[in-house]
Amino acid sequence: MKSVMLIIIICLSVVSILPSFGQSSSLEDHCPAGTKAVVKGASIECVKISNVKKTCPDGTYQGKDNQGNFACRDIQTNQIVDPNTGIMYDSQTGNVILDDSQTGGIVIGVIILIIIIAVIAKATSSKSGSSSYGYDESPTNVPRRGWTELEKEDIRIRQNGKCNKCGRPPPRWEYHHRDGNRSNNSLRNCEGLCPNCHSVKTHEN
161 shares a domain with 92: no
> Are 75 and 150 members of one domain?
no
pLDDT at 204: 76
Q: What is the pLDDT of residues 64-94, one digit of tens each?
A: 888 888 889 888 888 888 888 888 888 778 7
Query: Is 132 part of a structural domain of the chain?
Result: no
Asked if 162 and 95 sit in the same domain, the reply is no
Same domain, 90 and 30: yes
Mean pLDDT calculated for residue range 173-196:
91
Domain assignment present for residue 118? The answer is no
Tell me the mean pLDDT in the region 23-31: 53
> Same domain for 89 and 150?
no
- DSSP secondary structure of 12-47: HHHHHHGGGGS-SS-GGGGS-TTEEEEEETTEEEEE
How far apart (Å, rounded) are the C-alpha atoms in residues 172 and 160?
Answer: 15
Dihedral sign for Cα 183, 188, 192, 197, please. Answer: negative
Residues 6+ apart with CB under 8 A from 62: 54, 56, 70, 71, 72, 73
| Residue 120 is assigned to a structural domain of this protein | no
pLDDT attached to residue 32: 73
Q: Which amino acid is at 199?
A: S
95 and 152 together in one domain: no
pLDDT for res 45: 76
**Most confidently modeled of 14-18, 50-54, 103-107, 152-156?**
152-156
Q: Which structural domain range is residue 199 located in?
A: 145-204
Domain-located, residue 12: no
Q: For the segment 40-49, what is each residue's pLDDT rounded down to a tens digit?
A: 656 777 766 6
Query: Within a domain: residue 77?
Result: yes
51 alpha carbon, distance to own chain's centre: 47
* Contact predicate 175/205, CB 8 Å: no
Residue 25 included in any domain: yes
- Taking the C-alpha atoms of residue 199 and residue 174, their distance in angstroms, rounded to an integer, is 10
Residue 170 maps to a domain? yes
pTM > 0.75: no
Q: What is the mean pLDDT of residues 121-135?
A: 62
Number of domains observed in the structure of the chain: 2
Let me know whether 43 and 97 are in one domain: yes
Of residues 111 and 31, the one with the higher pLDDT is 111
One-letter amino acid for residue 172 of the chain? R
The three-state secondary structure class of 141 is helix
Query: 115 in a domain, yes or no?
Result: no
According to the model, what pLDDT value does residue 8 have? 65
